[in-house]
Chain A
Amino acid sequence: MAIRGKGKGTGSLAGFMSGSLFKILSAVFAAVLWIILATGSRYLLMRIDQLSLFSSTEPFFQNAIDHIGGLLGYAGCFLTQFLYKPVIGSLIAAVLWYSTIILSRKAFKLDGGWEYLAFIPASALVAADMEIGYTMFDLKLRGWFFIPALGYLASLLAFQIYTRIENWKAAIFYTAAWTIVFFPVIGFYALLGTVAMAIASIRLDKEYGAVRTVCGLAAAAIVPPVWSQFYVTVKTSLSYFAILPDFPPYGKFLPMWIPYLVLFLFTVTAAALIPSAGIPAKRKPIGIPARLSIFAACIVFVWTFWYRDVNMPAEMMMEQALEDRDWKQIARIQSDMAHRHDASDARVFAARSAKLSGVTGSERDYVVEKFADKFYAPSRHMVLYRNLALLRMGNACSTAFTYKDGGRIQKMPDLYPLMFQCGKQLYFNYGLLNYCYRWCMEQSVEYGFSVETLKYLIRSSLLSGNWNVAEKYIRQLESTLFHRKWATGQRKYLNNMELIAGSDEYRDIFPLICKSDRLDSDNGSIELFLQRYFKTDRTPDASPEFDDVALLWIMQTQDITSFWAQLINWINTHPSAKIPRHCQEAAILYGNLENNPIISSLPFDDEVTKSYEAFRQYASTHPVRNPAEMSYSYSRKFGNTFYYYYYFIRNLKTY
């Protein structure tokens, strides 16, 4: 069967493959992405919205247009707020990606099977968004999720109009006008359009093509540094890259530039090979296998760059649960994650055991180290949130160590501090309002104000009694589309500390609000600071809730002396309460380690006494030469005890 052009309306299989299948696949491509994002990535999208802000205030707009490409960023921020409703936000993204396919095909006149190449820029745009992962905490480009698609569509549209201009003088004028007018509006993407116009001119205009090319390339070279003279927010040499993401173009970040490189190369190549107007396409049509191969390659490309980290989805869900104050959900998320990996951990253990058979000494340690990362472990982020949730549920000191613990490093090019991921949330919930406020402000300075920082600025200002500035932040959030209702709801707390103290959302914080004062610095490490704070800053009038929290934090430090001191404090503030299970475990363990006579006077549950005895027995018959090697088997028997935590959860990296 011969394949001619688009094969419109032939009714044949070839015609279907040429025309309808492409349209179907384009729609399916977008629809599948929409469904995946709206369902499987909904919490990620909501998180992206939390880290962004679109405000209808004049200073917000002014700040946008003070930057080259700022209007594109403004539009990007506007659309980002729809990610708060994942179904809508992902639909917008899918529509933009679909439009890219259609417009790429039209603009570069791709047909005869070559239209499948139009999936390349769309795939690059999807990859550019979905590769970001944890880097979203380090991106200063506001509106990054929608900027590439919007910018590319604008440049495609401009290019398509250019291809219809026959008069060479008009074409040159158009190119120059496009570059001059749109460079300050959409930055790099305007230059992309200009370069495409310049390169396509050779084929579009046999007589004056070279002139048009030179003028176009000159415009791309000259306009940015000229425009940069009118801006005080850009270095001239960097003006060419305006509105591109700010991750560095070297080291571990280099692969993140690949989608942009693909986008650029596709555009330039397609422009260079564009069929001349009025002359049929000389390129040979490609067959169905080739078309489907192109499509498949694009899918593989998207899949390759689609960010995956075992814990990130759980962290995103926990973040939403924290916002909803759904403590049970936070605990359940971590518990589910651990259970989900039980089978895979068992397989890893079996595989490792096979490798360890007959191996001794340092070689054995080497095998153990190689398999270490294959076992599932939660991230510190998850553990911190889980412990907070359990404290709120009132049973942390009985249940915290029944959960899997660990410190799996989040997969990211650079270690991105936990402080910016969850610092303000933790500080706020642990009553350190100054520190919460400070990190909201630092994060806002570094990355711009966001929904999340504004929420915590409001919360910490309200609980600090700083009504005027709380009201300022409330007003900021009221200028947003989807968060104004929440912000307006906070107004009732202004000038009413009594209402705040009695409210469901804030009453838990009050007993923990820091009463002592001194100057200090957390050196950017939230976990180490909180450990130190709960160890050293207890005041004589500490609340029972403070002692609960402090006891858990001190147990995590495995500091025996501090544990005894805090246990006594806890007993004094909980006169009629039973010592929680994990505290009994710690006491019996430490007491035996130190031969401390105090344990003879402590009321241990039978269950605890038995479990400790069982642990001792097991330890005597299963000596631990390398804790990493024995950790799994011990966890199967004692993973729900403090004894296991003490011996096997050590040297965790926090950052």
Chain B
Amino acid sequence: MRKVLFTILAVLLVSCTGQIPSRFSQETSKPDITPDYRDIIYPSNMAPANFRIDNEGSRFVTIFTAGSRKTILKGRVTDMPLRKWRKLQAEGGTVNVEIFVRNGKDWNRYQPFTITLAEPIDQYMAYRMIPPLDEYYEEIFINQRDLTTFKESTVYSNAMVHNGSIGQCINCHHFRNYSTDNMQFHARQYKGGTVMIFNGDLRIVNLKTDSTLSAGVYPAWHPTHDYIAYSTNITKQAMHLSDPNRVEVRDLASDLILYDINDNSVSIIENDSCQFECFPAWSPDGLTLFYVSAAVEEDYNKETPRIMKTDFKAFHYDLYAKPFNPETREWGPSRKIFDAAAINRSATMPRVSPDGRYLMFSMGEYGVFHIWHRDADLYLMDLFTGQVREMNEVNSDDVESYHSWSSNGRWIVFSSRRDDGAFTRLYLSHFDTDGKFSKPFALPLRKPEYVENLMKSYNIPEFITEPVKVSPRRFARFISRNTAESVSYAPKKELPTTP
């Protein structure tokens, strides 16, 4: 009886763990897998890189080897147990992956590829899940994902608060220094306001004043002091009749404001009538504010239909830097650091690396909202030398847009529509000390084909080192029960000019 049981067990064990084919033909090419995790640099603490083998075949064996550890998986889709992956990761270095595919009676072994383990990545990432919408919205979620596992949870959803006929749009989640003790997002329309966690406490404020264009839009939380820089925008959206970009999101006016959280006041940073200032981003030391701005005519009529229909390609945004004294809240004069207009391009969404050395931005032919521009790509500026280069290592033929740095500056995440041109997916890439990016790879999922059937886009990916501690229900109760507090307007402070 014992022998019978042992035999059964052995057979089961072998069939579960897979046998390495002893006879096979050697292919000259590497296997086709989705996502493409071949020869990538991967975080040493990230969840397994599960993939699907796309080569024709009836049986599949995949062998992962790292150091002295070996894990064998069967099946077209790898489903690496987390425990085994951790052991492979613990070996450090490189994970070698061999794939055997049986076609008919013969096994074929493909050229192995590697997954090189590098620095760890922030444990969490927050993003919005939205349909690839144009104007309408329904359920919107801000989610957070534990990157070391596959767990995803909701930070907040508008469905918990909506009023049936009046919706609530939520957007622009943002964190100070990768921490969730200080974070914010906007709720628009029903129970609208800017919802904040400030030093652990919940607040909701209405950043609109009579002296500013709108409530705060794109945020940038000061790294050391209790300020948040925002753009204020009058934004319109329109459809192209035939252009493949389909949608254009345009500002008809935009300025920059500074929200002083302790003072509960906003002040103007920039509101030049001949400029559309947008997308603020702080340097890590908080002494410089970077932003983009496009020049417009003095008598520019903000409401003209002409603008919307025909000359949307005339707007080119340049990169600016503006000194700031966080102690006195005084501003120095802005200076242009990159003239995109001069090369007939338009830069947007600047983000500075944690070490303050590099500035990553998106650039396309025109405009400021590049997720709809297929030609938009990522660029890197060396702030020490002023050199700008295209990030050819990561760009594709389709749009690359919203991007973030990890807290150690070794990883970036960016939005891309390279998969199908319509649904935004998240890609990660390693950034080495020589200033080079590695081959980008898709955010790993337990079931790789899940995203192929997912009819939603990932939006605004932001690294965080810890999960949001406020539950979705607590956010919902707070928003339902509180009205946004008004803010006051404070005059702008300029640094005294040297005589």
Pick the contact of B309: A55, A446, A518 (CB < 8 A): A518
Interface flag for B422 (CB, 8 Å): yes
Tell me, rounded to whole Å, the shortest Cβ–Cβ distance linking A166 to chain B. Answer: 40
Tell me which of A230-238, A355-363, A564-572 binds B: A230-238
Interface flag for A516 (CB, 8 Å): yes
Inter-subunit contact A445/B133 (CB<8 Å): yes
Interface flag for A434 (CB, 8 Å): yes
Report if A446-B248 is in contact (Cβ < 8 Å); known contacts: A232-B141, A472-B420, A475-B452.
no
In the bound assembly, the distance between CA atoms of A514 and B455 in angstroms comes to 27
In the bound assembly, the distance between CA atoms of A469 and B243 in angstroms comes to 17
Inter-subunit contact A235/B160 (CB<8 Å): yes
Report if A438-B242 is in contact (Cβ < 8 Å); known contacts: A58-B450, A444-B455, A446-B136.
no
Interface flag for B68 (CB, 8 Å): no
Report if A232-B421 is in contact (Cβ < 8 Å); known contacts: A442-B134, A472-B452.
no
Tell me, rounded to whole Å, the shortest Cβ–Cβ distance linking A199 to chain B. Answer: 30
Pick the contact of B246: A434, A518, A533 (CB < 8 A): A434
Q: Which of A533-567 contact B (CB under 8 A)?
A: 533, 537
Interface flag for A10 (CB, 8 Å): no
Interface flag for B467 (CB, 8 Å): no
Closest residue on chain A to residue B132 by CB atoms? A441
Inter-subunit contact B420/A475 (CB<8 Å): no
Binary contact readout A431-448 vs B (1 if CB under 8 angstroms, 0 otherwise): 011110110011011100
Residues of A within 8 A of B132 (CB): 441
Interface flag for B162 (CB, 8 Å): yes
Inter-subunit contact A519/B454 (CB<8 Å): no
Report if A519-B240 is in contact (Cβ < 8 Å); known contacts: A232-B141, A442-B136, A469-B421.
yes
In the bound assembly, the distance between CA atoms of A466 and B156 in angstroms comes to 34
Tell me, rounded to whole Å, the shortest Cβ–Cβ distance linking B82 to chain A. Answer: 19
Inter-subunit contact B161/A519 (CB<8 Å): no
Pick the contact of B241: A232, A446, A464, A518 (CB < 8 A): A518
Interface size on B, residues (CB 8 A): 49
Count: A-B pairs, CB below 8 Å: 128
Residues of B within 8 A of A520 (CB): 238-239, 241, 308-309
Residues of A within 8 A of B453 (CB): 55, 57-60, 475-476, 479
Inter-subunit contact B133/A59 (CB<8 Å): no
Q: Which of A213-255 contact B (CB under 8 A)?
A: 229, 232-236, 246, 248
Tell me, rounded to whole Å, the shortest Cβ–Cβ distance linking B132 to chain A. Answer: 6
Inter-subunit contact A434/B157 (CB<8 Å): no
Inter-subunit contact B134/A468 (CB<8 Å): no
Interface flag for A376 (CB, 8 Å): no
Inter-subunit contact B419/A232 (CB<8 Å): no
Inter-subunit contact A248/B164 (CB<8 Å): yes
Pick the contact of A433: B134, B138, B242, B421 (CB < 8 A): B242
Tell me, rounded to whole Å, the shortest Cβ–Cβ distance linking A147 to chain B. Answer: 19
Inter-subunit contact B310/A518 (CB<8 Å): yes
Residues of B within 8 A of A515 (CB): 242
Residues of A within 8 A of B240 (CB): 434, 517-519
Closest residue on chain B to residue A521 by CB atoms? B238
Interface flag for B489 (CB, 8 Å): no
Residues of B within 8 A of A437 (CB): 246
Report if A514-B241 is in contact (Cβ < 8 Å); known contacts: A232-B141, A232-B160, A444-B455.
yes
Pick the contact of A445: B138, B242, B246 (CB < 8 A): B138
Residues of B within 8 A of A471 (CB): 420
Inter-subunit contact B312/A519 (CB<8 Å): yes
Residues of A within 8 A of B308 (CB): 519-520
Inter-subunit contact B423/A519 (CB<8 Å): no
Pick the contact of A234: B135, B154, B159 (CB < 8 A): B159
In the bound assembly, the distance between CA atoms of A515 and B157 in angstroms comes to 41
Residues of B within 8 A of A233 (CB): 139, 157, 159-160
Binary contact readout A268-310 vs B (1 if CB under 8 angstroms, 0 otherwise): 0000000000000000000000000000000000000000000
In the bound assembly, the distance between CA atoms of A504 and B248 in angstroms comes to 34
Pick the contact of A58: B154, B160, B243, B447 (CB < 8 A): B447
Closest residue on chain B to residue A465 by CB atoms? B244
Pick the contact of B134: A60, A236, A438, A461 (CB < 8 A): A438
Inter-subunit contact A235/B159 (CB<8 Å): yes
Inter-subunit contact B309/A468 (CB<8 Å): no
Tell me, rounded to whole Å, the shortest Cβ–Cβ distance linking A639 to chain B. Answer: 36
Q: Which of A52-77 contact B (CB under 8 A)?
A: 55, 57-60
Tell me, rounded to whole Å, the shortest Cβ–Cβ distance linking A497 to chain B. Answer: 14
Interface flag for B332 (CB, 8 Å): no
Pick the contact of A469: B134, B309, B422 (CB < 8 A): B422
Closest residue on chain A to residue B455 by CB atoms? A449
Residues of B within 8 A of A444 (CB): 131, 455
Binary contact readout B154-189 vs A (1 if CB under 8 angstroms, 0 otherwise): 101101111011000000000000000000000000
Inter-subunit contact B131/A445 (CB<8 Å): yes
Closest residue on chain A to residue B164 by CB atoms? A248
In the bound assembly, the distance between CA atoms of A232 and B455 in angstroms comes to 19
Residues of B within 8 A of A438 (CB): 134, 239, 246-247
Residues of B within 8 A of A517 (CB): 240-243
In the bound assembly, the distance between CA atoms of A581 and B1 in angstroms comes to 95
Inter-subunit contact A468/B159 (CB<8 Å): no
Residues of B within 8 A of A468 (CB): 419-421
In the bound assembly, the distance between CA atoms of A60 and B452 in angstroms comes to 12
Inter-subunit contact A434/B131 (CB<8 Å): no
Interface flag for B24 (CB, 8 Å): no
Interface flag for B473 (CB, 8 Å): yes
Interface flag for B300 (CB, 8 Å): no
Residues of A within 8 A of B423 (CB): 469, 472
Closest residue on chain B to residue A533 by CB atoms? B241
In the bound assembly, the distance between CA atoms of A433 and B240 in angstroms comes to 10
Q: Which of A412-460 contact B (CB under 8 A)?
A: 432-435, 437-438, 441-442, 444-446, 449
Report if A466-B136 is in contact (Cβ < 8 Å); known contacts: A438-B246, A516-B241.
no
Report if A434-B243 is in contact (Cβ < 8 Å); known contacts: A59-B450, A519-B309.
yes
Q: Which of B116-171 contact A (CB under 8 A)?
A: 131-139, 141, 154, 156-157, 159-162, 164-165
In the bound assembly, the distance between CA atoms of A445 and B139 in angstroms comes to 8
Inter-subunit contact A434/B242 (CB<8 Å): yes
Closest residue on chain A to residue B238 by CB atoms? A519
In the bound assembly, the distance between CA atoms of A479 and B473 in angstroms comes to 35
Interface flag for B472 (CB, 8 Å): yes
Inter-subunit contact A441/B131 (CB<8 Å): yes
Q: List 19 A-B contacts (CB under 8 A).
A: A58-B450, A59-B454, A236-B160, A434-B241, A438-B239, A438-B246, A444-B131, A445-B138, A449-B455, A469-B420, A471-B420, A472-B420, A472-B423, A517-B242, A518-B240, A519-B310, A519-B312, A520-B308, A522-B239
A sample of 6 more A-B contacts (CB under 8 A), given A233-B139, A441-B134, A469-B421, is A58-B450, A59-B454, A434-B239, A442-B133, A446-B138, A517-B240
The 8 lowest CB-CB distance pairs between A and B, nearest first, are: A468-B420, A519-B238, A57-B453, A232-B157, A469-B420, A469-B422, A514-B242, A232-B154
